């Protein structure tokens, strides 16, 4: 496990289940990681496994924790769209937000609200290009109190920022908003159901392997329950009981169930984190 911190009031040793589901709430995969591992760091193994087993996916819907340049680049290179919500700037109160500094792609420089130019200096080991102003330009600037406490202002821009800019651009499209709104009905519903009905939110086991197996069993039960529910709806006309519907489900081959349920799925294939 890892030391999990969420705000000031939620701190404990925990595990995190990185989970992906399809447009109908069927779980496609899940990876258990220590609680101190950030969501963006555990994205790639689960994403690669999901893409390998599902070739017709067009959209990847995720929360703001997965909205990083590397993830955006990975998804776009697979000819898919990353759909993520607005992420609030992490700037201190009273200071200019990063979007208030204009980036000029033609000359590869930033300009601050006071008109001072920040030029490229170096690229750090994390892949961020650093832009700095001159000390002389900032020394007597009337806006310095809202800009920085240092002698010069430094801004960073990731080498793959263009992919993240594209994610931010399409976020406001009506069709994209409609797709993202399905997230609360799919992956959030999955977590809500399994935490309340199968106690996903707590564990008495230690170790990644044991918790990984437990989580997969819980999600397998979740998927079977959804399949049984669909069968019950189709058997309503014949007045077949719930017990018989569940027994029928267990007798049907999995490949036939997948073929049957896939016909009900939306033409826009997507999955959610």
Location of structure tokens 């018989």: 244
Average pLDDT, the chain: 85
User: Rounded to an integer, what distance in angstroms lies between the CA atom of residue 270 and that of residue 185?
Assistant: 13
Read off the pLDDT of residues 102-142 as tens digits, 9 standing for 90 and up: 999 999 999 999 999 999 999 999 999 999 999 898 988 99
State which of 201-215, 219-233, 248-262 shows the largest mean pLDDT.
201-215
Nearest to 83 by CA among 201, 191, 166, 186: 166
Read off the pLDDT of residues 138-161 as tens digits, 9 standing for 90 and up: 988 999 999 999 999 999 999 999
* CATH 3.30.420 in the chain, residue ranges: 2-86+171-272
**pTM of the predicted protein model:** 0.81
Q: Which residues contact 32 (CB under 8 A, 6 or more apart)?
A: 15, 16, 17, 18, 208, 211, 212, 215
Read off the pLDDT of residues 47-60 as tens digits, 9 standing for 90 and up: 999 999 888 899 99
Task: Find out if CATH 3.30.420 is the number for domain 2-86+171-272.
Answer: yes
């Amino acid at each position: 496990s890892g030391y999990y911190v969420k705000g000031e009031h939620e701190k404990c040793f925990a595990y995190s289940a990185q989970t992906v589901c399809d447009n109908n709430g069927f779980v496609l995969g899940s990876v258990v990681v220590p609680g101190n591992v950030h969501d963006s760091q555990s994205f790639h193994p689960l994403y690669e496994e999901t893409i390998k087993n599902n070739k017709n996916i067009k959209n990847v819907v995720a929360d703001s924790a997965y909205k990083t340049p590397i993830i955006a680049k990975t998804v776009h290179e697979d000819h898919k769209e990353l759909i993520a919500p607005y992420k609030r700037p992490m700037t201190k109160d009273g200071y200019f937000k990063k979007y208030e500094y204009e980036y000029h792609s033609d000359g590869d420089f930033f300009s601050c609200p006071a008109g001072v130019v920040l030029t490229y200096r170096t690229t750090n080991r994390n892949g961020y290009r650093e832009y700095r102003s001159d000390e002389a330009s900032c020394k007597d600037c009337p806006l310095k109190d809202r800009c920085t406490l240092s002698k010069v202002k430094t801004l960073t821009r990731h080498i793959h920022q263009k992919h993240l800019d594209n994610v931010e651009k399409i976020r406001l499209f009506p069709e994209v908003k409609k797709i993202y709104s399905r997230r609360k009905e799919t992956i959030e519903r999955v977590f809500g159901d399994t935490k309340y009905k199968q106690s996903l939110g707590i564990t008495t086991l230690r170790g990644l392997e044991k918790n990984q197996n437990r989580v997969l069993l819980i999600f397998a039960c979740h998927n079977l329950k959804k399949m049984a529910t669909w069968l019950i709806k189709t058997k309503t006309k014949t007045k077949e009981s719930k017990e018989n519907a569940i027994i029928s489900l267990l007798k049907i081959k999995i490949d036939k169930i997948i073929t049957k349920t896939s016909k009900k799925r939306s033409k826009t294939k997507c999955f959610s984190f």
